[in-house]
Amino acid sequence: MKQHIYFKPIFGISVILLGLSSVPLITHHAELPSVLDQIKNQNELIVLTRNSPTTYYAGTNGPSGFEYDLTQLFASYLDVRLKIVTPENFNAIIPNVAQRNVHFAAAGLTITENRKKQVRFGPSYQDITQQLIYRSGHPLPRSMEDLPAGIIEVVAGSSHAARLKYLSRNNQTFNWKVNYQAGASELLSRVWDRSIAYTIADSNAFILNQRFYPELRVAFDLSEPEQLAWAFPKGKDDSLYNEAVKFFSLIKSNGQLAQLKERHYGHVRDFDYVGNRKFRRHIEQRLPLYLDNFKQAANKYQLDWRLLAAIGYQESHWNHRAISPTGVRGIMMLTRKTAAEMGYQNRIIPKNSINGGARYFHKLKKNIPAQIAEPDRTWFALAAYNMGMGHLYDVRDLTAQHGDDPDKWIDVKKHLPLLMQKRWHQKTRFGYARGIQALHYVENIRTYYDILAWQNGIETPPAPSQLVSYPTFDSAYSTTPAIL
């Protein structure tokens, strides 16, 4: 295994004795600090994960991914720094944990009986299902017994490989092999480009990747729901494990785990194949016409140009002559009044519209209550862009009246449809609003943004020599990713 960095022993100490003949031999041993104490003394939590959309990747504003955010939250809970470590391949994850090269692995690991013999799993935090994936146009597999010609390729050391091994032992004949180099996302891309016929993916990985490979389809489920959990080394020291148990109990009860799931999965449930293909076509044909305008406006107002472009696409499909029945016009669909307030009289000119929309969105974000943190702050501003700040205040009030948190998008979005119901909107200051439309508006922009980020290579991990420290999730700590 190629070693890129040097790790000090995590669970023990090394001592060199010189001149033993002249040094009295000590017959008693000082009590070693617990694993948790060592982590706090060294101010460093070393976590093994893998590069994928569901776990960890280099995003537009630094490291991202569900597992990354979750472990960052745990590091903040422990009040220590987080060091992310990635393996050369998936097959190396469990051995590195068992050999205590890291404190634990947070890599989207399914709890299996075979793995439980090697590592200790913490509390489960997500349920997934193994699914057989194929590309549209290929013969639809209806069962493993009736599988059309073609090889199923899966990641070596994965629960998918274990599942196929189990099925093949039970008199089911099909062709399959393991890949020791590729990850799950790469195998999905290979099914999409027809390099291989089938692969197996966890349901959470498929739903994220289907946006990028829209012709991929689920043939059928290969398993009942299975649980994901962190993997800890086995041993007598329970200090870190017990702290993780407390941590998961806390974030399940206070809603932080649900909020993380919404952040990463909440906007990708309803896949629109036709809309996805149309968007990709417009990326090639229309976006280049306005790309410089989006980048210049985003730079001027401290925004991500991909987000600004996603708003523009949701508003007009990047058609500068677009006009709605209500009279809003241009790429960013500004009203005449809003365009004038932003300093532009001709809202049909693309540069004017994009700059006006950027300035308006920047203003909305500034007016969002200070206690609302990112990324929820952006989602709130998007909803306000669609339906107005007054209606946003109304739905936040309704959210509080129902006992939910008005500062969290996961709670507020549940109550947006109430703005369309007379019994509720008549109690608000600004009255009726198309709340469901605002909800779809935000979710669509989030999807467009993700695709633009992926198209521009954002979800590609940087080379080891280029990895740097970034601000962490809801804290002032930093990460230093490395490779085992």
Query: DSSP letter at 329?
Result: B
In whole angstroms, what is the distance from residue 341 CA to residue 353 CA? Answer: 12
Q: Which of 411, 385, 387 has its CA nearest to residue 400?
A: 411
Q: Which two tokens stand for residue 302?
A: 């401290």
Q: How far apart are CA 334 and CA 323, in angstroms?
A: 10
Which helix (H) or strand (E) is 152 found in, with range?
strand 152-155
CB 35 within 8 A of CB 103: yes
Cβ(131)–Cβ(206) below 8 Å: yes
Measured CA to CA, the distance from residue 232 to residue 100 in angstroms comes to: 9
Q: What's the alpha-carbon Rg for the chain, to the nearest Å?
A: 26
Question: CB-based contacts of 82: which residues, under 8 Å, 6+ apart?
Answer: 44, 45, 47, 71, 72, 75, 472, 477, 478, 479
Alpha helices in 256-388 (DSSP H): 256-265, 273-285, 287-300, 305-316, 336-341, 350-367, 376-387
Q: Cβ atoms within 10 A of the Cβ of 213, count? A: 18
Q: Which residues are the active-site residues? A: 315
Neighbours of 380 (CB within 10 A): 27
Measured distance CA(368)–CA(55) in Å, rounded: 30
DSSP assigned state of 198: B
Helix (H) or strand (E) holding 248: helix 239-253
CA-nearest of 88, 56, 9 to 483 is 88
Look up residue 484 and give its two tokens: 């085992």
